Amino acid sequence: MPEYKAPLRDMRFLIDHVFDFHSNYAALGATDASADMVSAILEEGAKFCENVLSPLNRSGDEEGCHFDNGVVTTPAGFKQAFAQYVEGGWHGLAADPAYGGQGLPSSLGLVISEMVASSNTSWGMYPGLTHGAMSAIHAHGTDEQKQTYLRKLTAGQWTGTMCLTEAHCGTDLGIIKTRAVPQADGSYAISGSKIFISAGEHDMSDNIVHLVLAKLPDAPAGTKGISLFIVPKFLPDAVGEAGERNGVSCGSIEQKMGIKASATCVLNFDGAKGFLIGEPNKGLNCMFTMMNHARLGTGMQGLCLGEASFQGAIKYANERLQMRALTGPKAPDKAADPIIVHPDVRRMLLTMKAFNEGNRALTYFTAQLLDVAHLSADQTARQDAEDLLAFLTPICKAFMTDTGLEVTNLGMQVFGGHGFIREWGMEQLVRDCRIAPIYEGTNGIQALDLLGRKVLGSQGKLLRGFTKIVHRFCAANAEHPQLASYVAQLNGLNQQWGELTTRVGMAAMKNPDEVGAASVDYLMYSGYIILGYLWLRMALVAQARLEAGGGDADFCKAKLATSEFYFKRLLPRIAAHRSAIEAGSDCLMQLPAELFAL
Amino acid sequence: MPEYKAPLRDMRFLIDHVFDFHSNYAALGATDASADMVSAILEEGAKFCENVLSPLNRSGDEEGCHFDNGVVTTPAGFKQAFAQYVEGGWHGLAADPAYGGQGLPSSLGLVISEMVASSNTSWGMYPGLTHGAMSAIHAHGTDEQKQTYLRKLTAGQWTGTMCLTEAHCGTDLGIIKTRAVPQADGSYAISGSKIFISAGEHDMSDNIVHLVLAKLPDAPAGTKGISLFIVPKFLPDAVGEAGERNGVSCGSIEQKMGIKASATCVLNFDGAKGFLIGEPNKGLNCMFTMMNHARLGTGMQGLCLGEASFQGAIKYANERLQMRALTGPKAPDKAADPIIVHPDVRRMLLTMKAFNEGNRALTYFTAQLLDVAHLSADQTARQDAEDLLAFLTPICKAFMTDTGLEVTNLGMQVFGGHGFIREWGMEQLVRDCRIAPIYEGTNGIQALDLLGRKVLGSQGKLLRGFTKIVHRFCAANAEHPQLASYVAQLNGLNQQWGELTTRVGMAAMKNPDEVGAASVDYLMYSGYIILGYLWLRMALVAQARLEAGGGDADFCKAKLATSEFYFKRLLPRIAAHRSAIEAGSDCLMQLPAELFAL
């Protein structure tokens, strides 16, 4: 298993220079997040993830979770690591001080989450789901619910889940069968069965707070009749501690391809006591607070597993001796050259590097928007940030996980046959990553959300919110002495993006299937342009720092070379996506379903 | 686990109509392979694979192989299935009658191998490696070696392996350390350790015949100093049966991501008695006979696992109810529509279908060339077939496994969260497929073989051998009433292919790194054009049969629709590969190795 080292240099390049988190924190009044504080958090967070979580990654995969008559035990060391994480103040870092959190900006919380998921994705699911539950309760809970649940969740004494999926429905939540019957005391009796519940049962906390989608007896059909309930595993007693056991139990855990140390549970609710959160029949709205959080987190798993894979691959490529360079021996004193001399190995490594660093830039760009949306006093700025977040969230989720899967597969390929062997740890990263394009809304669903709901649903407004930024950036840098040709390339694509969107929108007005036919390729097409914009922003900063002689010349040279690689070898992939979008829906829909297999 | 059903209809479409195996068999004098015989073989082969091998696929993955002090036990049922396979005459189907085989054409052997690997890839490794060993001994062994080993291997009493890789080298066989010291009796004492030996030790046969690469004491350095040896696990006794135990033992088996029922062994040779096969220091040539066989077989694993995945996905897509069609309900009597109504699900299914059927056509096209190369009395025809095989083999291996991996991942994606759960069997197909782009020469190595050795190494001759076929085909069908536009698209690409190759060749003369920089994209680019040619051949036949009213109208309509999908949505991917090829080597090579990670 590659040993994780937090890529602090790249993180700081983004935080300090590309996005200047510090000025933004100052403008937003987040004065606790001083430059020194941020630096200390990065270093201490790195230590915790490198020393505590990373060593548990492979053992967690090998051991997996244990299920015994409703009791789930996590792999050795997981529970202790969670206690250390809470004790170190990592869990409540970005949580509301009113409920015991430290109130640091969301962006810092995300940076820590990146380190956590890079060192141990399965372990990161437990706090990750809890953070999602916290955000939903914070946004939609009553004061009493916040006092009762949010404090305990923030303190890491209790953990949280989101219970949506049932055996017959995952995407289509409108047809859930779990029922909530009002009780005389104002609570609800929840009955039904949920599947695929991450962290649904485990031994890491005193109590588990389930957020459960269910239908009231008189609920309208479909998604407009879903309500959200808090269903604690143990009901809070008079003093707010975990008391009587509630009617929820874990029926089994799944045997999965990856993230084996994350307990994926069947949860049976048998008249369990639940408490309505938010308004009746508006549960899906409440759940979306949580899902948007989760979708960013899931997108980051693509980045994180890609980073871990790159760290393994780059080490191996420098150490493994095999064949001579085509241009003549590079290590004549050795039996063969290290494989990094071979152009195709470099193609794989640079593809990994370009996606990882591009996806990290996308994550931090999005994280900064989260800060503005959460903290800005300016209503317009908040709304603009919300709009951009709405646009970017499905792209973060799907583009980063699809490219993350490509990256982890490349990392494994660099290892040759050894990549397929468990002890090297590279194949675990592929298996762990494979769920990310599926859960939290499949990437197909993200693409429909992007093109149908966000872009066309806003008559292009949400897209224009982003293309305007790119347009301004290109205009401002059109004459850049070194990078003007890339600026022109990006500017052309940015324009094409708008035109292509208009064409798809026109076609969709005549035939709604055009949206579904174009959506996945449209999302990937958009993702490549967005990463192009971010790579060029990084290149501009790197070029400026190189000229200023900032002391990080090597780092800046690598940024510029990787940016060039991205523009020359990865960005051109959009041609294939554009062709697929333009192919339209006929060639998908004309074949009757019964003729697919004969 | 999807239940495998041999796609006999598609197989027969290719065998009977597209490639007309029957006329070819007649022309080659393979009179035993009558149309009735072929038909019976297809049906009986299908029954065996569906009823015996397919049910052992998931249990084999769950159980895996057992290692106990040098003894390897295969999963329950594997040994019995092998006995049935041998008894049914499947093992010796295409083997030389002089050593007990049935002497049917190689193409029929490949069709059966397809069914075997589709129903149980891991199991198929045991006979697959044996067939490779048989072909090497047949081509390079002495009469005595053939009598001793080939008879037993053909009878399925003994099985075979190929022992190339050592811990420090896989691709770079020139630096192997295994040594062969000549003995007074004309044999050699073989010492060294080999890893990743498929079927290296198991309980399915009485004896295992290892073909081992090793170096003679006076051997020149590098690949020109490698010799090939037969090293049986048990030395043949006076009557040719397995006798005394030889000095070879299994040190351990690997814990792997997939093909868990295939024993991947560390083999230790401790002065084992070996017998030179072929000439001293010419071992790599001999091994290539085996490797070319194995490369086709590995390429087929991409097709086979893709087919299995498609069979699971199409069933699920028709049964799983989720959301309504964007154009309005299609199954109003049900809670939701089957997901096959959604354009993006169709995109995934059609991508799977187009690659599988295209890859099958490529396999059968290649199989027919094998027949000509093996059986033709015409020296020119044999040489032409050999040249085409040399050109196509790396493409079959790499293109079919890369697209097969895409297909199995799509099949998993169609299942949503259920695809990640072991019991559905879809994730096993991804894990089993993931080794195919790695072993038998990584796909990167295949690409270097194609572009460097085959295409540029022949000054373009081997490429022209194929583009000429496409050119003639396009010229003959340029006025086709329905398909002319696709013919024109293919013809244009075929021309571009030659021009692009010339440009890469010119660049490579100045800088050898240009080959490695272009190779993987060049291979994929080539593969897409070749599949375009084959899809158009299928479409032409389907169109003709449809007009003739041949009774398979539905099947032909599906072929035409899938061909259209291929041309509109998959073939345009070559634009991205072309851009990557044209990007050249600078953007890969300029970054010093030590700056990749900072």
Contact by Cβ (8 Å): B408, B305: yes
Q: Which of A259, A587, A590 to mutate to test the interface with B (most CBs of B within 10 A)?
A: A587
Domains in chain A, ordered, with CATH? 8-145 (1.10.540.10), 158-281 (2.40.110.20), 446-589 (no CATH)
| Percent of chain B with pLDDT strictly greater than 70 | 100
- Annotated catalytic residue: which of B114, B166, B357, B440? B440
pLDDT single digits (tens) A313-355 = 999 999 999 999 999 999 999 999 999 999 999 999 999 999 9
Chain B touched by A593 (CB under 8 Å): yes
Asked if A196 and B417 come within 8 Å (Cβ–Cβ), the reply is yes
Average pLDDT estimate for A515-536: 98
Considering only CB atoms, which chain A residues are within 8 Å of B175? 335-336
pLDDT single digits (tens) A36-46 = 999 999 999 99
- For the question of residue A423 being annotated catalytic, the response is no
Mean pLDDT of chain A: 97
Could you tell me where the beta strands, DSSP code E, fall in B238-288?
Answer: 242-245, 248-253, 264-277
Chain B touched by A580 (CB under 8 Å): yes
- The C-alpha of B555 sits at a distance from chain A's nearest C-alpha, in angstroms, of 7
- The C-alpha of B597 sits at a distance from chain A's nearest C-alpha, in angstroms, of 7
Which residues share a beta bridge with B190? B180, B272
Give the residue from chain A lying closest to B592, CA to CA.
A558
Chain A touched by B381 (CB under 8 Å): no
- pLDDT given for residue A467 in this prediction: 98
Question: What single letter denotes the amino acid at residue B438?
Answer: I
pLDDT band at A1 (very low <50, low <70, confident <90, very high): low
Three-state DSSP state, A251: strand
Residue B416 has its nearest CB partner, among A170, A336, A350, at A170
pLDDT single digits (tens) A449-487 = 999 999 999 999 999 999 999 999 999 999 999 999 999
Asked if A423 and B255 come within 8 Å (Cβ–Cβ), the reply is yes
Residue B416 has its nearest CB partner, among A171, A409, A513, at A171
A20's CB contacts (< 8 A; 6+ apart) are none
Asked if B434 and A427 come within 8 Å (Cβ–Cβ), the reply is yes
Q: How many CB pairs under 8 A join A and B?
A: 285
Asked if A255 and B423 come within 8 Å (Cβ–Cβ), the reply is yes
Contact by Cβ (8 Å): B260, B243: no
pLDDT single digits (tens) A545-592 = 999 997 899 999 999 999 999 999 999 999 999 999 999 999 999 999
Chain A touched by B238 (CB under 8 Å): no
Considering only CB atoms, which chain B residues are within 8 Å of A550? none
Alpha-carbon span A551 to A549, nearest angstrom: 6
Please report the residues numbered 468 through 487 in chain B whose beta carbons come closer than 8 angstroms to any beta carbon of chain A.
Answer: none
Please report the residues numbered 1 through 20 in chain A whose beta carbons come closer than 8 angstroms to any beta carbon of chain B.
Answer: 9-10
- Annotated catalytic residue: which of A114, A201, A440, A514? A440
Question: What single letter denotes the amino acid at residue A371?
Answer: D
Helices B574-582, B484-510: crossing angle, 10 deg rounding: 20
Contact by Cβ (8 Å): B522, B450: yes
Q: Which of B62, B164, B298, B579 to mutate to test the interface with A (most CBs of A within 10 A)?
A: B579
Contact by Cβ (8 Å): A566, A435: no
User: What Å distances lie between residue B260 and A277, A338, B81, B120, B408, CA to CA?
Assistant: 47, 30, 17, 11, 17
Quick check: A379 pLDDT over 90?
yes
Quick check: B1 pLDDT over 70?
no
Three-state DSSP state, A31: coil
Quick check: A2 pLDDT over 80?
no
- pLDDT given for residue B102 in this prediction: 97
Please report the residues numbered 409 through 468 in chain B whose beta carbons come closer than 8 angstroms to any beta carbon of chain A.
Answer: 409, 412-413, 416-417, 419-423, 427, 430-431, 434-435, 437-439, 442-444, 447-448
Asked if A343 and B576 come within 8 Å (Cβ–Cβ), the reply is no
Asked if B412 and A434 come within 8 Å (Cβ–Cβ), the reply is yes
Q: Which of A257, A414, A418, A456 to mutate to test the interface with B (most CBs of B within 10 A)?
A: A257
Residue A516 has its nearest CB partner, among B343, B353, B569, at B343
Quick check: A291 pLDDT over 90?
no
Average pLDDT estimate for B458-473: 98
